Structure 1
């Protein structure tokens, strides 16, 4: 078949008539088209050149009478390659849809030469370059065109105005730039125009009112400036207008009041000023009105209550003053109201029936008339209620239970006082409850246990007293319990151990007493547990999170004991039984012989204790002297090596303690002759938390890297050491440094690695001689390589623990190789202080759950370190930089730049702007997500690899489509 298609392609211009006799035109055109495609999933297997008609082929539709092809729809087939001229033979083709594939290169201009074509959809591919101007000069009967979600650049062609038949144009989510063409509004038949998420700029030219039939205009997320077109009201049929996230200034044009059919008006994220006009109430069909994130001032007009169809109203983050108009309660269909972050005052509209309401960050105060909530039925639809950060005062209404359908209730940072009403137990659907930062007193009502859906409960920074109710153990869905900075007393209830989903607990700064229930150690999901500054006593729970709990989380409890607080718990011994030989004597009337007997017993006991102590002291001194002698003799004689090849982990054949054991996993015994070769300072490559690395050349001329572990006295036994090293030796991945062997004696342990020639990533990013040597493509590939290596490690059940740029090496082709993985497995499993001390050099890469002296090792710690590495690679800056008067934390700096929409300024200046923003910015965001403060928010490394492969743009220089 391939040969036949080749002949067709070669001789088609010459033998058209004879070929038509063999092949139907449509079959011929589609077979020629298929020949230029790469079909990895074999989706086009039904396309057979021997078929008489192609009407039953996948993705093909024909006219039932003529059997000529009218539609080619191959969306989501994973196709790539060339969109060839074979399609020109489909003389009756009306629909060509190739969206959601992997086509790349420039767009083939000949597609619009198909005179019958009405729909052309090339969206969600990897097309690059500019939209050719000749694309629309002969657009025939073209009605719908979509190039959305590609990587097209340049200007929108002027020829677009020639297509008088166009009904819908979608060029969204590309990198189109420049001004809109002056003739843009000549396509009077347009009904839908989507140019969103591009780089278009300057003012919008006049004449948009000429689009008489337009229903949808979407220009969001561009760089348009100036005022919103004053003639926009001429588009009387407009249903949806989205001008959000641009740089429009001035006020809303008066002509907008003529948009009586408009159901969605979104202008958020601009620089609009002035007041919300009173005529806004004339837009009676509005369902969505978003004026947020502007600089609008004045009061909210009462006329807004006339828009009874309104479902979503967002006026947040402006400069609005006054109070919410009472008329807003007329909006019976309103489901979401957000007027947060303004300067509103006055009373809270408890009579408003919505699904979600946010008034946070204003100056709303509590009016005296609202001492209780209205009838139960009024809040049947309410799901989200946020009235935080206002000046609301008074008691929380006793009938709070009428908010039974609320899923999120935030009343924090107000002036509420009094007790928490027992009706809080009726909130059976509430998942998030925040009453923090108020003036609440009294106890936590036991009815809290009835709120079984609670996931997050925040009651901190109040004046609550009494015990933590045992009923809280019934809230089995709780993941976060924050009760800090109150006056709570009594013990921590053992029922808390039933909350198996708990992740964050803060009981600090209270007056809790008693001992912690040992069952808390069974809470397997804990990542934070703070009980500092209470009056707790006794031994800390042993196991789970409590083996690694930070010292700061238990400080301020002087009577707590355990290894974490460096205070051993006192042993409890049974009191000795003393038999009174004169038991017939009255109690308390001991004779002189009794006293003499006690003195004799005391004397004998003292002698025994003194003798035992002397015996132990002599033994300790003897052992110490023997150790000194052995170490001295070993220091004067470097241990020789005995060789063991392959996976033979048998003991050395000699009993001489000066001989060690060498194992090469490859079975290659061509090694150096003595460990003293490593002591050559000139061969040192670097030093890390776990040892010194040297370069050594084998007898066959091959270089290897030798890590001499520095924590010799802390190593496991030889059997445990070999078992762990054998596991690490089986790990192989192109993005991991290969462990090739090891050497063991009781005083010297060596790990033998492959030698990676181009040095560390740190050197390429920060050393003066190497800096600026990495291109954007090299940096992206390094990030992807690291992600693949770490993903493989995690699949093998190995946590790296010590990620940093000095532990990422580059081979001769620039491929990243992650080294030093799994070394924590070689140290004692319970010695967390030692583990923590090994990563002090990784400052800035450590996840927040790391403590100064303790650490909980999880895969999410690696994900955090990877996120910091991503930011370091892209910005060229160290994780923490010390200035003269300041300390710059890389993660915080990048996150701040992202919030200010200045993230591109963070990218390493040495790249000189030669980087694709469509790759760089998503990678930066991915790095910040990986470096999230909350471990559960960080993705798995396998997910990171998938995301990076989706972000990756096609390589430059691919063949153009023909």
Structure 2
């Protein structure tokens, strides 16, 4: 990926846009206050970038705004009270930033709000009690802040999930199960305990220094002689260590970069990523950063650097070896791994030069859909279904299927990514974000997975159905409210007979009398079958592959993936 991209001014060409989605890019700098001039804007998504500075108060001029997603950036300052003037706002996500100050009382004026995530910031003070007045709120997360005081009783009863309030040291009340005490007495006890610990530590350190000083005086002459002898004895070993090569390429049994098919060293990989430089970052996910690695021989690979963890090295090696055996033309195949210290765990994958499905859909909507015609959308859906079916046949569950996890090779063939990685990482408290739950991503995760906290093959089928409906209609799940999600909206259009309302602009040229029209309708029906409320009523992925293959419009696009990859089970 190229260098960091900054917002440029003036932004007059944004004025009449309804949707501005630039998530998962490498945009840096300040959020331009001129965005407040985009009076028609309904969706503003700038998640997972490198934005800095304060949230512009000018965003309050966006009177038609429904979704504001600024999560996973480097924003500072306070959450402006002016945001409460966006009366139509339904989703407010500013998680994983560096916001400080208190939560504005004025947020209670957002009567249409359904999603509110302020987690993983530096917010302080008490939780405004009037937030309970937002009747439509269905997702609420303020975890990992510096909030204190008692959780409002009605708010704690309504969101009876401790994870929504976790990692706030001085927060108490239901559902945390932490009794509220007098804050003054609590702080006094803390200061007293800290004073005792400091005095005791100082006394112990002083006694230890005295003992060490006396011992050093008694042994001084003897240590000089032993030190000289030890220097002669160990100097060859140190010289050998200096000439043994890189951190991952040692001849004395140290960690090495393990490659299944070719020979690449850790030193070469570090050089190919420019020492894991920020400019080479392709994407940021809950499983760490993904870098583009360009080797001297022309080879290009994707290197995923997993977040720091304490997973045992032997267990990590075993899981990585297992994941390396999972091969299919519609999956991103693991080509190697590095199992050194917990702060440097690497996974090596094939490089996918054509980005992900989320970006492709966004580009298609900006170009009136001409990039994605019906045959291409059908082949993408079929590729996703085949990859997921193979995982299920291998007794694996993906757990987080969404457009960002569908990557494209040089031939634009779909490859599922980010599967099986939960077995290689150790969960952290900060892992959850505003749009990501512990079992998937908001808008794509099945209702039963949210309730049980467990993902299954049936919940994967539900997520596939949502992705399929988004692929066919161009509608993103977060654009809808609790009362009308994408599934209900599609059903409503079918019941009204307004089928053309379902068509993405690039599909408007479909002839109602053509076979492609029937194939499109079949795809919509498959999506509705996958999203049945009862998991037992959903088809299996092998059944879905069979149905989608039944509406095949032409031969498969040739794949540039590994020709030894296994075919999808029918």
- The answer as to 2:448 corresponding to 1:849 is yes
Deviations 1:190-237 (A, max 9, x none): xxxxxxxxxxxxxxxxxxxxxxxxxxxxxxxxxxxxxxxxxxxxxxxx
Deviations 1:138-176 (A, max 9, x none): xxxxxxxxxxxxxxxxxxxxxxxxxxxxxxxxxxxxxxx
- The answer as to 2:416 corresponding to 1:810 is no
Q: How far is 1:670 from its partner?
A: 5.5
How many angstroms apart in 2 are the aligned matches of 1:770 and 1:706? Answer: 34
For residues 752 and 955 of structure 1, do their structure 2 counterparts lie closer, same or farther at Cα, with a shift above 3 Å needed? closer
**What secondary structure, in the 3-state scheme, does the structure 2 residue paired with 1:758 have?**
coil
Aligned runs of 1:811-830 on 2, under 5 Å?
Answer: 811-828=409-426
* 1:429 equivalent in structure 2: none
How many angstroms apart in 2 are the aligned matches of 1:890 and 1:788? Answer: 24
Aligned runs of 1:450-465 on 2, under 5 Å?
Answer: none
**What secondary structure, in the 3-state scheme, does the structure 1 residue paired with 2:475 have?**
coil
Given that residues 672 and 699 in structure 1 are in contact (C-alpha distance below 8 angstroms), is that contact kept between their aligned partners in structure 2?
A: no
- The answer as to 2:288 corresponding to 1:688 is no
For residues 953 and 701 of structure 1, do their structure 2 counterparts lie closer, same or farther at Cα, with a shift above 3 Å needed? closer
For residues 909 and 729 of structure 1, do their structure 2 counterparts lie closer, same or farther at Cα, with a shift above 3 Å needed? same
* 2:97 equivalent in structure 1: none
Aligned runs of 1:503-518 on 2, under 5 Å?
Answer: none
* 1:889 equivalent in structure 2: 485
- The answer as to 2:393 corresponding to 1:795 is yes
Given that residues 311 and 342 in structure 2 are in contact (C-alpha distance below 8 angstroms), is that contact kept between their aligned partners in structure 1?
A: no
**Aligned-residue RMSD, C-alpha:** 4.4
* 2:260 equivalent in structure 1: 665
For residues 691 and 918 of structure 1, do their structure 2 counterparts lie closer, same or farther at Cα, with a shift above 3 Å needed? same
How many angstroms apart in 2 are the aligned matches of 1:836 and 1:933? Answer: 25
Q: How far is 1:688 from its partner?
A: 2.0
How many angstroms apart in 2 are the aligned matches of 1:780 and 1:748? Answer: 40
Which protein shows a greater Rg? 1
Residue from 700, 722, 730 that aligns with 2:325: 730
* 2:27 equivalent in structure 1: none
How many angstroms apart in 2 are the aligned matches of 1:770 and 1:550? Answer: 44
* 1:254 equivalent in structure 2: none
Residue from 905, 914, 921 that aligns with 2:510: 914
For residues 950 and 769 of structure 1, do their structure 2 counterparts lie closer, same or farther at Cα, with a shift above 3 Å needed? closer
Given that residues 800 and 822 in structure 1 are in contact (C-alpha distance below 8 angstroms), is that contact kept between their aligned partners in structure 2?
A: yes
Q: How far is 1:741 from its partner?
A: 1.2
How many angstroms apart in 2 are the aligned matches of 1:937 and 1:554? Answer: 31
How many angstroms apart in 2 are the aligned matches of 1:779 and 1:726? Answer: 34
* 1:947 equivalent in structure 2: 547
Q: Which runs of 5+ in 2 are unaligned?
A: 1-153, 166-173, 180-192, 206-244, 557-570
Deviations 1:21-72 (A, max 9, x none): xxxxxxxxxxxxxxxxxxxxxxxxxxxxxxxxxxxxxxxxxxxxxxxxxxxx
How many angstroms apart in 2 are the aligned matches of 1:672 and 1:759? Answer: 27
Q: TM-score, normalised by structure 1?
A: 0.31
How many angstroms apart in 2 are the aligned matches of 1:770 and 1:724? Answer: 44
Q: How far is 1:701 from its partner?
A: 1.1
**What secondary structure, in the 3-state scheme, does the structure 1 residue paired with 2:497 have?**
coil
How many angstroms apart in 2 are the aligned matches of 1:921 and 1:816? Answer: 22
Q: How far is 1:870 from its partner?
A: 0.3
For residues 669 and 780 of structure 1, do their structure 2 counterparts lie closer, same or farther at Cα, with a shift above 3 Å needed? same
How many angstroms apart in 2 are the aligned matches of 1:937 and 1:770? Answer: 36
Residue from 697, 701, 704 that aligns with 2:301: 704
Residue from 912, 917, 924 that aligns with 2:524: 924
**What secondary structure, in the 3-state scheme, does the structure 1 residue paired with 2:252 have?**
coil
Given that residues 249 and 267 in structure 2 are in contact (C-alpha distance below 8 angstroms), is that contact kept between their aligned partners in structure 1?
A: no
For residues 565 and 721 of structure 1, do their structure 2 counterparts lie closer, same or farther at Cα, with a shift above 3 Å needed? farther
Q: How far is 1:918 from its partner?
A: 1.3
How many angstroms apart in 2 are the aligned matches of 1:783 and 1:790? Answer: 11
How many angstroms apart in 1 are the aligned matches of 2:347 and 2:435? Answer: 17
How many angstroms apart in 1 are the aligned matches of 2:435 and 2:477? Answer: 18
How many angstroms apart in 1 are the aligned matches of 2:348 and 2:486? Answer: 34
Q: Which runs of 5+ in 1 are unaligned?
A: 1-532, 537-548, 556-563, 570-609, 623-638, 645-651, 957-962
**What secondary structure, in the 3-state scheme, does the structure 2 residue paired with 1:773 have?**
coil
Aligned runs of 1:466-481 on 2, under 5 Å?
Answer: none
Q: How far is 1:550 from its partner?
A: 7.5
Given that residues 377 and 471 in structure 2 are in contact (C-alpha distance below 8 angstroms), is that contact kept between their aligned partners in structure 1?
A: yes
Deviations 1:1-29 (A, max 9, x none): xxxxxxxxxxxxxxxxxxxxxxxxxxxxx
Aligned runs of 1:102-251 on 2, under 5 Å?
Answer: none
How many angstroms apart in 2 are the aligned matches of 1:863 and 1:826? Answer: 24
How many angstroms apart in 1 are the aligned matches of 2:262 and 2:199? Answer: 48
How many angstroms apart in 2 are the aligned matches of 1:783 and 1:833? Answer: 33
State the aligned residue count: 334
How many angstroms apart in 2 are the aligned matches of 1:935 and 1:736? Answer: 25
**What secondary structure, in the 3-state scheme, does the structure 1 residue paired with 2:316 have?**
helix
Deviations 1:694-746 (A, max 9, x none): 1111232110011222x313x52222222222111111100001111122322
Aligned runs of 1:285-364 on 2, under 5 Å?
Answer: none
Q: How far is 1:551 from its partner?
A: 2.7
Q: How far is 1:661 from its partner?
A: 3.6
* 1:863 equivalent in structure 2: 461
For residues 667 and 900 of structure 1, do their structure 2 counterparts lie closer, same or farther at Cα, with a shift above 3 Å needed? same
How many angstroms apart in 2 are the aligned matches of 1:654 and 1:614? Answer: 43
**What secondary structure, in the 3-state scheme, does the structure 1 residue paired with 2:447 have?**
coil
Q: How far is 1:554 from its partner?
A: 13
* 2:352 equivalent in structure 1: 756
How many angstroms apart in 1 are the aligned matches of 2:430 and 2:458? Answer: 20
For residues 832 and 727 of structure 1, do their structure 2 counterparts lie closer, same or farther at Cα, with a shift above 3 Å needed? farther
Write 1 or 2 for the structure with the bigger share of strand. Answer: 1
Given that residues 807 and 819 in structure 1 are in contact (C-alpha distance below 8 angstroms), is that contact kept between their aligned partners in structure 2?
A: yes
Given that residues 835 and 855 in structure 1 are in contact (C-alpha distance below 8 angstroms), is that contact kept between their aligned partners in structure 2?
A: no
Q: TM-score, normalised by structure 2?
A: 0.50
For residues 568 and 729 of structure 1, do their structure 2 counterparts lie closer, same or farther at Cα, with a shift above 3 Å needed? farther
Q: Which has the higher contact order (CA 8 A, sep 6+)?
A: 2
How many angstroms apart in 2 are the aligned matches of 1:554 and 1:876? Answer: 31
* 2:334 equivalent in structure 1: 739
Given that residues 763 and 770 in structure 1 are in contact (C-alpha distance below 8 angstroms), is that contact kept between their aligned partners in structure 2?
A: no
* 1:933 equivalent in structure 2: 533
How many angstroms apart in 2 are the aligned matches of 1:792 and 1:663? Answer: 25
Given that residues 809 and 816 in structure 1 are in contact (C-alpha distance below 8 angstroms), is that contact kept between their aligned partners in structure 2?
A: yes
How many angstroms apart in 1 are the aligned matches of 2:299 and 2:164? Answer: 53
How many angstroms apart in 1 are the aligned matches of 2:486 and 2:291? Answer: 31
Given that residues 287 and 425 in structure 2 are in contact (C-alpha distance below 8 angstroms), is that contact kept between their aligned partners in structure 1?
A: no
For residues 732 and 917 of structure 1, do their structure 2 counterparts lie closer, same or farther at Cα, with a shift above 3 Å needed? same
How many angstroms apart in 2 are the aligned matches of 1:832 and 1:933? Answer: 30
How many angstroms apart in 1 are the aligned matches of 2:331 and 2:369? Answer: 24
**What secondary structure, in the 3-state scheme, does the structure 2 residue paired with 1:799 have?**
coil
Given that residues 269 and 295 in structure 2 are in contact (C-alpha distance below 8 angstroms), is that contact kept between their aligned partners in structure 1?
A: no
How many angstroms apart in 1 are the aligned matches of 2:528 and 2:376? Answer: 20
Q: How far is 1:553 from its partner?
A: 13
Given that residues 880 and 887 in structure 1 are in contact (C-alpha distance below 8 angstroms), is that contact kept between their aligned partners in structure 2?
A: no
Aligned runs of 1:547-566 on 2, under 5 Å?
Answer: 551=161, 565-566=175-176
For residues 835 and 897 of structure 1, do their structure 2 counterparts lie closer, same or farther at Cα, with a shift above 3 Å needed? same
How many angstroms apart in 2 are the aligned matches of 1:759 and 1:906? Answer: 25
Residue from 299, 307, 311 that aligns with 1:716: 311
For residues 553 and 820 of structure 1, do their structure 2 counterparts lie closer, same or farther at Cα, with a shift above 3 Å needed? closer
* 1:642 equivalent in structure 2: 248
Given that residues 352 and 408 in structure 2 are in contact (C-alpha distance below 8 angstroms), is that contact kept between their aligned partners in structure 1?
A: yes
How many angstroms apart in 1 are the aligned matches of 2:357 and 2:318? Answer: 31
For residues 682 and 668 of structure 1, do their structure 2 counterparts lie closer, same or farther at Cα, with a shift above 3 Å needed? same
**What secondary structure, in the 3-state scheme, does the structure 1 residue paired with 2:419 have?**
coil
* 2:99 equivalent in structure 1: none
Given that residues 799 and 862 in structure 1 are in contact (C-alpha distance below 8 angstroms), is that contact kept between their aligned partners in structure 2?
A: yes
* 1:396 equivalent in structure 2: none
* 1:630 equivalent in structure 2: none
